[in-house]
Chains A and B, each alone.
Chain A
Amino acid sequence: MIALAAALVLLFGTLTVVAKVQGYSHALNFVTEKFIEIFRRNTGEPLEGEGITLTLNTERITYSSVQELLENEAPEVLYPTALPEGLKVVSASKHCYDDTRFVLTFNYEVPTFSFMVKNTYAFDLSVIKDPEIYDFGPCRFFVMGLHDGTYQAVCQYDGYEYLIIHNNHDELIQILESMKGGVS
């Protein structure tokens, strides 16, 4: 019995050291990966880069696309149908402040781009000095320069408030122009 315990300790110890040396965060990751490599079995988890994981309070739900996520979480929300090269959504978060108010965010690899949708109007458009105004479809976007040289667009439409930031003005306008909805 003691020998078995010692063997297990030795095995786990060795695995942990090997996993750490090879740059894994923990031994189980290392073992799982090696197991799949050897037996070429699929774990059933979505592959890296596939699907969008939504953090909803404490839950994490993986959808196959932005379209599917919106259908299930906020069907009326508009979303850019064309994004500049290199701008790819990697995950999403839905922060429910209470039973009625929420903010939905799409998270991108590029930290200078931000996309946020609230289901309440909180932004006072009347206090913005000389915003650029763009009308695309039924949406009126107010674009303003920010102190760090980036640009923010704000739109209040159909009960939703859109707040979009990008460091490239022209690309931001193209993104706004491509905003579409109606997945419901």
Chain B
Amino acid sequence: MKKLLIVCLSLLLVGMFSVSAFAADEEIYVYDFGSVTVIFDENDTWDAETREIIAQRLAEGETGESAAPYNLLCTLFGHKYETKSVTTVTHCVQAEQPRCLEEIFDMSLCSRCGDQQVTRVAYAYITCCP
């Protein structure tokens, strides 16, 4: 009886863990800041903190080059950028449909000094909100 109880509890714990892990995976790459949603690729390799900083920057409408800390290697050899695409959706921009603005950015991040460059590559109005 005791063994059966242990097995049941173990299965329950594993099940709960699986459910919560799945929920986290589903939401981990989507960030909401007010009326702006920032979406990263499912296979994004930036860490959560970096993603959140980038998401906040994009949500605040910052594009172009950021002020990066000084790094001698970058000064000598240039930045070591890793570029990825990030999508933002600004909700209810227009009064009539299509109401929401979808923008796609190329986001470059220097792995040495953290310098960021954001370039909007395309945009469209979509029927996201009623």
Q: Which residue of A lies closest to B103 (CB)?
A: A114
Contact with A along B39-64 (1 / 0, CB 8 A): 10111010000000000000000000
Total contacts A-B at CB 8 Å: 99
Q: How large is the interface on A (under 10, 10 to 19, 20 to 34, 35 or more residues)?
A: 35 or more
User: When the two chains form their complex, are residues B84 and A58 in contact, meaning their CB atoms are under 8 A apart?
Assistant: yes
How many residues on the B side are at the interface (Cβ–Cβ under 8 A)?
33
Kindly list chain A residues whose C-beta atoms are within 8 Å of the C-beta of B123: 114, 116, 165
Determine whether the beta carbon of A152 is less than 8 Å from that of B97. Answer: no
The 0/1 profile, CB within 8 Å of A marked 1, for residues 76-89 of chain B is 11100011111100
Chain B 19-43 residues near chain A, CB threshold 8 A: 39, 41-43
Please give me the residue from chain A that is nearest to B96 by CB atom: A129
- Contact across chains for B124 and A116 when beta carbons are under 8 A apart: yes
Asked if A12 contacts B41 (CB within 8 A), the reply is no
A93→B76 contact, CB < 8 A: no
Closest Cβ neighbor of B124 among chain A residues: A163
**Cα of A100 to Cα of B45 in the assembled complex, Å:** 18
Instruction: Choose from B78, B98, B119, B122 the contact partner of A128 (Cβ within 8 Å).
Output: B98
CA distance A16 to B75 in the complex (A): 7
Chain A residues positioned under 8 Å from B84 (CB to CB): 55, 57-58
Is there an interface contact between B41 and A57, defined as CB atoms closer than 8 Å?
A: yes
CB-based contact B76/A28 at 8 Å: yes
| A-chain residues with CB within 8 Å of residue B76 when the two chains form the complex | 12, 16, 26-28
Q: Which residues of chain A have C-beta atoms less than 8 A from B106's C-beta?
A: 55, 93
Chain B, Cβ-Cβ closest to A150: B125
Tell whether, in the assembled complex, residue A152 and residue B124 are in contact, meaning their CB atoms are under 8 Å apart.
Answer: yes
22 pairs of residues in contact across A and B, judged by CB atoms under 8 Å: A16-B75, A27-B75, A27-B77, A29-B78, A57-B84, A93-B106, A94-B85, A95-B87, A96-B41, A97-B87, A98-B41, A98-B42, A103-B87, A103-B104, A114-B122, A114-B124, A116-B104, A123-B126, A124-B127, A128-B127, A147-B95, A165-B125
| A residues adjacent to B (C-beta < 8 A) | 12, 16, 25-29, 55, 57-58, 60, 91, 93-99, 103, 105-107, 111, 114-116, 122-124, 127-129, 144, 146-147, 152, 163, 165
Listed in ascending order, the chain B residues whose CB lies under 8 Å from chain A are 39, 41-43, 45, 74-78, 82-87, 93-98, 104, 106, 119-127
